[in-house]
Amino acid sequence: MDLDSKDDVSEGARLQITRETLDSVVVGVNLIPGSLRDQLEGEPVLLVFLRFFGCIFGLETVADLRALSEKRADHPKVIFISEAKTIETQAFVRRYWSGAATISDPRPEMVAASGVGLECAEELFAERLPVRAPRPRQGQRARPP
């Protein structure tokens, strides 16, 4: 991947990472000291943006990627980017995948600069889910909301 090109994206990828984002210093767990660019050089990398580690989606994603990386020698290095603070990230990594490289982006500047939208389930489905008041149980009167 040519990290100095204007459209710093690999073939087939939709994510565009700006030079400013690439050159920003990152903090987290199991990282090479330096910038995001330093983390990406050398070998293929799978960047995984997770808003929270503690939700079921985050836990399952981490478990699946850990299993795949342990099973396949050709699996790319995984780097998680999360809004969690470094101390929260350390606790999560210690418990679920001690070798996982994780960038803490609590503001979330890196997420915003990369153009990745991180909505919670409520935001994703809010307009699609019908909303109605719960029905009263048999024999009960309906209460106003």
CA distance 116 to 110: 9
Q: Residue 42 in contact with residue 28, Cβ under 8 Å?
A: no
| Domain assignment present for 130 | no
- Tell whether 45 is covered by a domain: yes
In a domain, 79, yes or no: yes
49 strand-pairing partners = 81
Domain of 51: which CATH number? 3.40.30.10
DSSP state of 76: P
pLDDT of amino acid 49: 87
Residue 69 has a pLDDT of 94
Residue 125 included in any domain: no
Please tell me the distance from the alpha carbon of residue 114 to that of residue 91, in angstroms, as a whole number: 26
Question: Residue 138 falls within a domain, yes or no?
Answer: no
Its domain, for residue 93, covers: 19-118
What pLDDT, on a 0 to 100 scale, did the predictor assign at position 34?
96
Report CA dihedral (49, 53, 56, 57) to the nearest 10 degrees: 0
Name the token pair of 9.
Answer: 């994206």
Q: CA-CA distance, 24 to 80, in Å (whole number)?
A: 16
- Please tell me the distance from the alpha carbon of residue 72 to that of residue 89, in angstroms, as a whole number: 25
Q: Reduced to 3 states, what is the DSSP secondary structure of residue 51?
A: coil
Tally of CB atoms within 10 A around 133: 9
How many structural domains compose the chain?
1
pTM across the whole model? 0.69
**Average pLDDT per 10 consecutive residues for the chain, totaling 145 residues:** 45 67 93 95 90 82 94 93 89 91 86 64 51 60 57
